[in-house]
C-alpha cells in the first residue's frame, strides 16, 4: 500500500480515480522529472558530522504486520521499496543498497540526498525481484499490510528478511512517522543516531510553534491540498484529519479546516474547486506540480471564477510549499514542512 506522488501511479492515472481509497494509495505528483538543482541535497543534520555508534548486537524487530524479524547483526545492506524508508535510511546515515524509483525520490523527496550510484530496482508498485536479489540485501523494507503480498513471498522464499510497514496511521500520524523511523533505526543498529534526529525534530517543532504564535496570523485555520488536471477540470486532494502534513500544522497550533470525508490511514480526501471553496476564511497551502509534461493545476485554478472569489485567494493567503517536500516522509521531510508553514504565516 504505497502513496506514489501522488505514490505508485501518475497524475494521469489519478484522473480516473473516483474513490477516496484509491487516492490513499498514491502520493503527490509524478516521477517523470528531475528535481530543481537548488532543492537537492539539503540535509539539516549532516552525516559528515555524525559521531553516533552502530550496534553490532543481534536484532529482533517487529514490523507493522506483527511479524518478528530476527537478524544475527544489524542490517547493513538494506533495500528500500518506498521513499519514506529511503529517506529514513539516509537520515540514519545508512546508504541503501538499492531503492525503488530512485529518480522519483530525487524529484519528490529533497530532505536527503540519494547517492547517484544507488541501484534502482524498478517502480515501487512493481519492483524487479531479480534486481533486489542482485543487491544481496540483509533486509528489504516494503510498504504493505499484507504478508501474503507477492513480493514478500518471492523474497522470503529466497531467504531474504522482509520488514512490512503500513506506511501511515491516521490515528496519530506524527507519532507513527517517528515510530517508523525508530523501527528502521533498530533494524540497522542506528538507534543512537535516531535519538539525535528525533530530538532535532522536536526542537524544530517547538521553535516553529513559537514563531507562529509570535506572528499571530489573521486566521489559524488552513487547508493543505494537491491536485491534478482531469480533462478540462481540476481534481483536488485535501489532506484532512489523519494526514501527516495536516497534523503537523495542528501541532503548530493551527486548525485543519477540511472536514470532508477522508480515508482512515492517510487522511486524504477528494473534492473539486467548488468543494474547496466551502472552507471559509482558511489559509490555503498546496503542492505545486513538478511535471512539465502535465498541465499545471494551479494555473487552471487561477482561471476559475469560483477560485478567484475564495477569501484566501482574494486576500493573497495562498501559498505553494517549496518543491520536494514529501508529504508522506520521515523526520527530515517533516522539518521541511514545518519550515514551510512558518514561512507562509510569518511572511
Q: In the numeric block, which cell numbers belong to residue 37?
A: 538543482
Q: In the numeric block, which cell numbers belong to residue 206?
A: 517547538
pLDDT over 80 (residue 190) = yes
Which residue ranges does the chain devote to CATH 3.40.50.1980?
43-192, 197-346
CATH superfamily of 43-192: Nitrogenase molybdenum iron protein domain (3.40.50.1980)
pLDDT in tens, 26-81: 443 333 333 333 333 444 468 988 999 999 999 999 999 999 999 999 999 999 99
- What's the pLDDT score for residue 289? 62
- What's the pLDDT score for residue 119? 98
pLDDT in tens, 89-115: 999 999 999 999 999 999 999 999 999
Q: Given pLDDT bands bounded at 50, 70 and 90, which one contains residue 294?
A: low
| CB-based contacts of 14-20 (< 8 A; 24+ apart in sequence) | 14/228, 14/230, 14/235, 15/228, 15/229, 15/230, 15/231, 15/235, 17/270, 19/270, 20/261, 20/262, 20/263, 20/268, 20/269, 20/270
Q: Given pLDDT bands bounded at 50, 70 and 90, which one contains residue 293?
A: low
pLDDT in tens, 194-251: 999 999 999 999 999 999 999 999 999 999 999 999 888 899 999 999 999 999 999 9
Mean pLDDT of the chain, nearest integer: 88
Distance from C-alpha of 294 to C-alpha of 235, rounded to nearest angstrom: 14
Q: Please, are residues 143 and 149 in contact by the beta-carbon 8 Å criterion?
A: no
pLDDT in tens, 139-167: 999 999 999 999 999 999 999 999 999 99
Nearest alpha-carbon partner for 256 in 297, 224, 231, 301: 224
Say which CATH class 197-346 falls into: alpha beta
Amino acid at each position: 500500500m504505497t502513496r506514489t506522488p501522488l505514490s505508485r501511479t501518475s497524475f494521469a492515472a489519478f484522473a480516473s480515480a473516483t474513490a477516496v481509497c484509491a487516492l490513499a494509495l498514491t502520493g503527490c505528483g509524478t516521477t517523470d522529472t528531475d528535481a530543481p538543482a537548488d532543492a537537492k541535497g539539503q540535509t539539516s543534520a549532516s552525516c559528515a558530522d555524525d559521531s553516533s555508534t552502530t550496534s553490532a548486537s543481534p536484532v529482533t524487530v517487529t514490523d507493522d504486520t506483527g511479524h518478528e524479524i530476527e537478524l544475527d547483526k544489524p542490517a547493513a545492506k538494506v533495500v528500500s521499496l518506498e521513499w519514506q524508508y529511503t529517506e529514513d535510511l539516509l537520515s540514519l546515515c545508512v546508504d541503501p543498497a538499492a531503492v525503488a524509483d530512485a529518480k522519483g525520490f530525487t524529484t519528490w523527496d529533497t530532505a536527503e540526498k540519494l547517492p547517484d550510484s544507488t541501484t534502482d530496482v524498478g517502480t515501487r508498485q512493481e519492483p524487479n525481484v531479480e534486481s533486489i536479489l542482485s543487491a544481496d540485501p540483509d533486509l528489504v523494507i516494503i510498504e504493505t499490510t499484507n504478508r501474503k503480498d507477492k513480493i514478500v513471498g518471492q523474497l522470503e522464499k529466497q531467504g531474504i528478511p522482509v520488514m512490512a510497514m503500513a506506511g501511515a496511521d491516521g490515528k496519530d500520524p506524527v507519532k507513527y512517522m517517528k515510530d517508523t523511523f525508530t523501527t528502521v533505526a533498530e533494524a540497522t543498529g542506528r538507534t543512537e543516531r535516531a535519538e539525535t534526529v528525533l530530538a532535532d525534530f522536536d526542537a524544530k517543532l517547538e521553535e516553529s510553534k513559537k514563531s507562529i504564535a509570535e506572528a499571530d496570523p489573521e486566521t489559524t485555520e488552513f487547508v493543505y491540498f494537491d491536485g491534478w488536471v482531469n480533462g478540462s477540470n481540476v481534481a483536488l486532494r485535501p489532506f484532512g484529519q489523519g494526514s501527516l502534513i495536516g497534523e503537523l500544522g495542528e501541532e503548530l497550533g493551527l486548525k485543519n479546516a477540511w472536514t470532508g470525508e477522508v480515508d482512515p490511514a492517510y487522511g486524504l480526501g477528494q473534492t473539486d474547486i467548488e468543494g474547496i471553496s466551502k472552507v471559509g476564511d482558511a489559509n490555503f497551502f498546496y503542492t505545486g506540480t513538478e511535471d512539465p509534461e502535465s498541465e499545471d493545476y494551479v494555473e487552471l485554478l487561477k482561471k476559475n471564477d469560483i477560485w478567484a472569489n475564495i477569501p484566501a485567494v482574494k486576500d493573497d493567503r495562498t501559498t505553494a510549499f517549496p518543491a520536494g517536500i514529501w508529504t508522506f516522509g520521515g523526520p527530515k521531510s517533516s522539518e521541511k514542512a514545518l519550515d514551510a508553514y512558518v514561512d507562509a504565516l510569518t511572511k
